[in-house]
Structures are given as C-alpha cells and as structure tokens.
Structure 1
C-alpha cells in the first residue's frame, strides 16, 4: 500500500512540477502536490527533516511569535508525530504563490494548519522548486471535516491590481493576484489572512486567528 501511494504521488508530482498555466493542469494542483509531498517526507523521514528540507531561506514559523524557521527547527531535538491533509488551496493567477490550509494531527490530537508556498529557483541551475515561506497552526477541540477533494480558490487574471511592495509581515505573488498578511502581539495573539483577486477586488479566502496563550 505504501509503495502504491508513492507511485500515485510520483505521478501527480510529475504532472504538476511548476506553476499552473496552460493545458490540463488544474489551478492549485502543483501547490497541493508540494504539500502532499512534504507530508509524505514527514512520514518517511520525520517531521523536522521534512520541514527543514522544504523551507525557503528566510521562512518563518510562530513560537509563539515569528521566528526564523531554519534556525528554530535546527534547535529542536524532537517534534510531535504529525500528519496533515490539505482541505483548501488558494493560488495566484500566475501560479507562483499559493497557500494550503487543512487538518493536522499532532500525536493524534486534532488541529489545523496553513502553509504558504512559493515557486522559486532551486539549488540546481535551471530547476525551480516549491518551498514554504510561512507556516503556522493551532489545536482544535474537534477535527475539521474533510472535503472529498481539496477545494481550489484561484485568483482571477482579469484587471490585475497595481503592485504594492511587500513588508516584513506581508507578501504577494509576482503578478499581485494573491497576497498574505500576518500580525502578532503577545497580548492579542496572531492573525494570518490570505486574499485573492477576483477581477474587481481582493477577497479573503483564509483567515486564521490564534488568541494569545493558545497552545502552539
């Protein structure tokens, strides 16, 4: 069964290596494929290895405030056994940036996660890869219900908005059709939002709120 799952994943990744464009690749498929591959790596080689190997330089996690992911991961001696399943993927018009949110289990306890993925230049010349740049999650009393297939929210390519520069707490796709923003204070906790362009205005498709003092 594990071998069959690996073959199925390999086939999915072979058809979804880059940003969605023309042809039969569905918008969001490359992003969800990267998320699935990361989860498979976590099951095979451990969560810390999977997170380290797929993180972009400068990626951040929250512990509980924002910290450099590679540095923080390198300081951890262990990590809860984890598995996750993407329920919704939001993707920019040009396919260069996407976000996946869904259910996660930490040592069997339910929670949710949101990971922002970016398509960027890899270490091998001429080969680009998907890497995550922001990731967070929180526990839940009850597991989120799962859709039969991950839902896709794709940004419109019509009337693209004027580009605005990123900040330390925000970012956008190269074409400006998907943007994200996070805020954190020790008193109020953190908020992460993902917005996509619908042809007329930005629409929030993911909004996570983690109150101060909640378990990470």
Structure 2
C-alpha cells in the first residue's frame, strides 16, 4: 500500500515538473552590466583569456580578425601580463530578457584604445554567457554618455495588417556577424520598437592594413 502511494506521489511530482512553464526573466540591463563588471574583475584577477574562456557559451564566436569558435581559439592560450579594461556605455536587452548586446570602449595598459560589442545570452541556469565578442582599435575613444544607458526592446506584437515583419517569440533583439576572408567584418544589432526594427549597432571593420 505504501509502495503504491509512493509511486503515485512520484508520478504526481513528475507531472508537476513536466508542466512547469519555462523560467521567465526581467529584461534588466543592470544584470548585463553586472556580468560585464564580473568579467572585468575576472580578467584582472585571473587573466584576460581566462576570463573569456570562463564566461563564453559553448557556441561563442570571436574575431581574430577572422571569425573563429571562441572555445577552440582560446584553449590553452596564455594570458597577457595585464588585461585590457572594457567600459560598457549602452546595453540593449530583448523583451524576454534572454538576449542582450553591450557596447562601449576598451583601453589597453599601454593606452591603446578602441570599442567593443559583446552579445550575451542566458544559459539554462539563467546566467549570462557571451556568444559573440567583437572589437576594433581606434585613434581616440568613441564619444559616449557620462551615464550607462540601458534600453529594452518592445514587447508589443505586430498589429494585424501592419507592414513589416513581426518579431517571433522572442526575436525582439536580433544580431548578425558577417565576416570576409580578408578579415573585414560587419556586426549589427536590431531592436524591435513595436512596429519595426531599429538598427541600434552597426559596426564595420575594414580588412587589416586598409
């Protein structure tokens, strides 16, 4: 009798687990900023490439300048003596809070500067992992606001009969990374505004030496 009750209880618990809806997240730019701060701290404490390795998703990509799988390129790579510092200035987050893009300036210990764009995605545990890392050197830092800017994509669905393409659930934040064999590339991020997509990041990098 007890065995029968235990079996019924186990079935009931299994049903509850199976019926549990997917975890929902708040589209909170501050959580992405916290991930950026943690990344910078890890780079200072353990090393630059170590920080990239430990925070990358399995399918993450980066540009060196050709597009490569990050895990493969980073494997066994020695850390530089001192890491760069990354300062995000604007963060964009999807409506469902599972995808984000951060962009800002970076500075090397020798004073070299440039900009970066990083794509972040929540993993199964809800932790932010980066899925694309892209940057380029500049003669001077980009002009940015004195305050961190956080923007969230609209959750408004497309109205019946409206023109354009609606965001599938959830494609309120989309990105692309097109790279050529000569090392040139273009990284874009678009955000849904309720009736269409705004281009919020459009980074174009020429081939080395051009």
Same fold (TM over 0.5): yes
Which of 16, 20, 23 is residue 26 of structure 2 equivalent to?
20
Q: Tell which deviates more after alignment, 102-111 or 72-81.
A: 72-81
Give the aligned length: 178
**Residue in 2 aligned with 1:169?**
none
Secondary structure of the 2:52 match is helix
Structure-2 separation of matches of 1:190 and 1:115: 15
**Residue in 1 aligned with 2:191?**
196
Cα shift at 1:214: 5.2
**Residue in 1 aligned with 2:4?**
none
Question: Contact between 2:157 and 2:167, CA under 8 Å: does it hold in 1?
Answer: no
Which of 104, 112, 121 is residue 109 of structure 1 equivalent to?
112
Structure-1 separation of matches of 2:192 and 2:63: 27
Residues 64 and 207 from structure 1, CA distance in 2 versus in 1: closer, same or farther, beyond 3 angstroms?
Answer: same
Secondary structure of the 2:145 match is coil
**Residue in 2 aligned with 1:137?**
135
Which of 83, 92, 95 is residue 93 of structure 1 equivalent to?
95
Q: Tell which deviates more after alignment, 201-210 or 76-85.
A: 76-85
The structure with the largest strand share of the pair is 1
Secondary structure of the 1:128 match is coil
**Residue in 2 aligned with 1:64?**
65
- RMSD (Å), alpha carbons: 1.9
Tell me the TM-score normalized by structure 1.
Answer: 0.76
Tell me the TM-score normalized by structure 2.
Answer: 0.78
